[in-house]
Structure 1
Amino acid sequence: MNRFFTVESEEGERIDKYLAGEMEDVTRSRIQKLIKEDRVEVNGKPVKANYRLCFDDEVHVSIPELKEPEIAPEDIPLDILYEDDDLIIVNKPKGMVVHPAPGHYSGTLVNALMFHCGSRLSGINGVMRPGIVHRIDMDTTGSLVVCKNDAAHQSLSGQLKEHSIRRVYEAVVHGNLKTDAGVIDAPIGRHQTDRKKMSTRTRNGRRAVTHYQVLERFGSYTYIQCVLETGRTHQIRVHMASIGHPIVGDPVYGPAKCPFKNLKGQTLHARTLGITHPRTGEYLEVNAPLPAYFADLLDSLRKSSQ
């Protein structure tokens, strides 16, 4: 398997750290091994792990094929928001992993899609991620588009790269925001000590921009809308935590102890997804209803604030 990357805003970053961020499905130890085996080239030449990237570098990674585990279709109900011959948009529930990965080879959205769509999923991302163009976190709910053919996949991938897909999230955060609207423009990269986390305090982060707007205020909590200009891993969770307003129910970037004992998940929901349809060229927008636990929390906050 070959993968190609072009360095955009990561100038000066070590090649091993850069690839760890770009290829989240490949372990860091395997990346180091690929480098040692001269399977990582920059501008056509093998490099060492400490190579520092330059703007516009062309990175080529040759990954020898491993025997991938067989991913089986599973009859898991899907909340379908839109579907045609080219794509399907679903409302992903809390706790569902988008695609198979070590430790999650069943019960994923891909398993459910394989049952529902059969062989009608794009193959660009291989057998582990058929049809998957973008992801949302396991405990984030809401709208997610999946492609049924390669042409649709290429179109949506291009829209993602151009930042032309409209992605609107809703969240409840800790604290009372000082302003009714704002923009967080802070690069995001791997946390320097905890590789499972992301951080704005990193030397080689990638530009990340989140636009937020207050929807309702509840004293110690605020209901907000976030519009993504970019789409980095954990972007909204990291950005809101970086300004002192982490997502309520987020065990990674928020308080260790959630103030709401009965809350069943983090209150971050991908409400609106707007795309240019790959076949018709027309704008298509869907809205995913809030999950019950999120709506119940809002009702509780409204009652307590009256």
Structure 2
Amino acid sequence: MIRNIFTKRIFIISFVLALSTALIQFTATHFSQRIYNMAMPFNANYAELSKEESSFGGIMMRSEVSDSIDTKMIEPSTQMMPFYNEDNALEVDNRLYSTTSFSQLVVKDVSSYVGSLRDYILSSDGRVLSSNVSASSRYSYGNISARVPSASVDKVLARVREGVVSVVREETNIQDETGTYVSVADQIVALQDQKITLEMQLVEAKDAVAKRRIELQIQRIDQQIAQLNSQQDATEERVTYARIDVSVSNSARYYDPSVRPTLWDMIQTAWNSLATVAYYIGYVMVFTAMYLVIWLPIVVFINFVRLVLSNKREE
């Protein structure tokens, strides 16, 4: 009786049921994960759109309230001066230039390169805005963004190219900021002169309504001056510190998949494929063993009941 309850056939049936359950779980888990990954960009875009709509609605409401409070607000009489377009025509002794650089490089050790470049930038009185190192099943890659003093940008760019396997892309742009800076400075001076005139009118004003209108005009001018000061500070920042962005990877195929793979790339691809297959097999086997512990007693019990009923029928 006991031999008939637990047989090789019962174990095989339990194993098949456990394996089937593990495969169903594996398929469902990875399918749901893929659906989630596909839905994430849509959810992010929807959230961003909702945020923009809410912001737009809030702006409209504030605008309507502002119009209902004071529809007769007097605009400042002095208009904003246009930017100088012809920078080269300006007679300025010390011209202002901003520098930006972008590089895509192939290196042997991504983590070591990013860490070494980060330390060098900090030692050159630069500021690291962001840096990261990541790895996928096929490539290692990293990025670093920084601002370095414009006086030492050539040395930093030379350091960026040290020890690289190959340069995929490299761009360096120099922008003349003189016209923008001079234009903003002239606008600030003009607005400050207008503010002085309005402050004199405010002292001489007798009517409360007239005083209120002048105060509103002064507030508007203060806001414009603050905005222009921010623009001027941003221009000075771009001139004083050059922006450097570097992207690195251990393979040129990370940037251009059409590049012919090297022997080392093919070995890495084959190894990663084997590792992925081994992971999936191990995943299924672990859950098969877990479900076997559940299915085996169930199948044994069903077989026991079947044998008992069969014996009763024979009697």
Judging by fraction of residues, say which structure has more helix.
2
TM-score range normalised by the length of the shorter chain: under 0.3
Larger radius of gyration: 2
The structure showing larger relative contact order (alpha-carbon pairs under 8 Å, at least 6 residues apart) is 2
Judging by fraction of residues, say which structure has more strand.
1
